Amino acid sequence: MTDRRRQIHPASPGLSDASALSSRPRVVVVGGGIAGLAAATGLAERGVDVEIVEAQHYLGGRVGGWTEHEADSDSPSQLAMNRGFHAFFRQYYNLRALLRRVDPQLRMLAPVADYPLIDGAGRRDTFRGLPRIPPWNALAFALRSPTFRLSDLVRIDARAAAPLAAVSVPDIYRRLDHIDAETFLKSINFPESARHLAFEVFSRSFFAEPSQLSAAELATMFHIYFLGSNEGLIFDVATANFDVSLWNPLQSYLTQRGVRFRMGDKVLQVTGGRAKPFNVYTGSGDRLDADAVVLAVDIGGLQRIVAASVELADETWRTQIQRLRTAPSFEVRRLWLDRPVRYDRAPFLGTAGHPPLDNISVLERYEREAAAWTRQTGGSVIELHSYALDSATPREAGLAQLHKIYPETASARVIHERVLHRSDCPLFTPGTYSRRPAVVTPQPGLLLAGDAIRLDLPVALMERAATTGWSAANHLLQRWGVAGHELITVPTRGRSRLLRSLALRQERQPR
Ligand SMILES: Cc1cc2nc3c(=O)[nH]c(=O)nc-3n(C[C@H](O)[C@H](O)[C@H](O)COP(=O)(O)OP(=O)(O)OC[C@H]3O[C@@H](n4cnc5c(N)ncnc54)[C@H](O)[C@@H]3O)c2cc1C
Please give the distance, rounded to the nearest whole angstrom, from the Cα atom of residue 293 to the centre of ligand 1.
19
Burial label for 65, CB within 10 Å (0-12, 13-18, 19+), is buried
Looking at the CA of residue 85, tell me the nearest atom of ligand 1.
3
Q: Classify 335 as helix, strand or coil.
A: strand
CATH label, 135-234+494-507, candidates 2.60.40, 1.10.10, 1.10.405, 3.30.70: 1.10.405
Is residue 256 within 8 A of residue 78, CB to CB? The reply is no
Ligand 1 in reach of 424 Cβ (< 6 A): yes
> Is 63 near ligand 1, meaning CB less than 6 Å away?
yes
Residue 93, C-beta contacts closer than 8 angstroms, at least 6 positions apart: 1, 6, 463, 487, 488, 489
| Domain residue spans of the chain | 7-61+240-324+428-489, 135-234+494-507
Q: 7-61+240-324+428-489 maps to which CATH number?
A: 3.50.50.60
Contact criterion met (CB below 8 Å) for 214 and 428: yes
Indicate if ligand 1 lies below 6 Å from the C-beta of 84: yes
Tell me the pLDDT of the chain (511 aa) as tens digits: 688 889 999 999 999 999 999 999 999 999 999 999 999 999 999 999 999 999 999 999 999 999 998 776 565 578 999 999 999 999 999 999 999 999 999 999 999 977 888 888 888 888 777 777 777 777 777 777 777 776 777 777 777 777 777 889 999 999 999 999 989 988 888 777 667 666 656 656 778 888 899 999 999 998 998 888 888 777 999 999 999 999 999 999 999 999 999 999 999 999 998 889 999 999 999 999 999 999 999 999 999 999 999 999 999 999 999 999 999 999 999 999 999 999 999 999 999 889 899 999 999 999 999 999 999 999 999 999 998 888 777 778 999 999 999 999 999 999 999 999 999 999 999 999 999 999 999 999 999 999 999 999 999 999 999 999 999 999 999 999 999 999 999 999 887 777 777 777 766 766 5
Going by alpha carbons, the residue nearest to atom 19 of ligand 1 is 461
Q: How many angstroms separate the alpha carbon of residue 165 from the centre of ligand 1? A: 30
CA of 162 to the centre of ligand 1 (A): 33
Q: Which ligand 1 atom sits nearest the alpha carbon of residue 92?
A: 11
Please work out whether the CB of residue 445 comes within 6 Å of at least one atom of ligand 1.
no
Predicted structure pTM score: 0.95
Q: Is the minimum distance from the CB of 31 to ligand 1 under 6 angstroms?
A: yes
Beta strands in 266-305 (DSSP E): 267-272, 278-282, 287-290, 292-295
For residue 452, give the ligand 1 atom closest to its CA.
26
CA of 50 to the centre of ligand 1 (A): 20
Measured CA angle at 196 (ends 191, 202), to 5 deg: 115
95 Cα to the center of ligand 1, angstroms: 13
Give, for ligand 1, the residue of 81, 93, 242, 298 to mutate: max count of ligand atoms closer than 8 Å to Cβ: 298
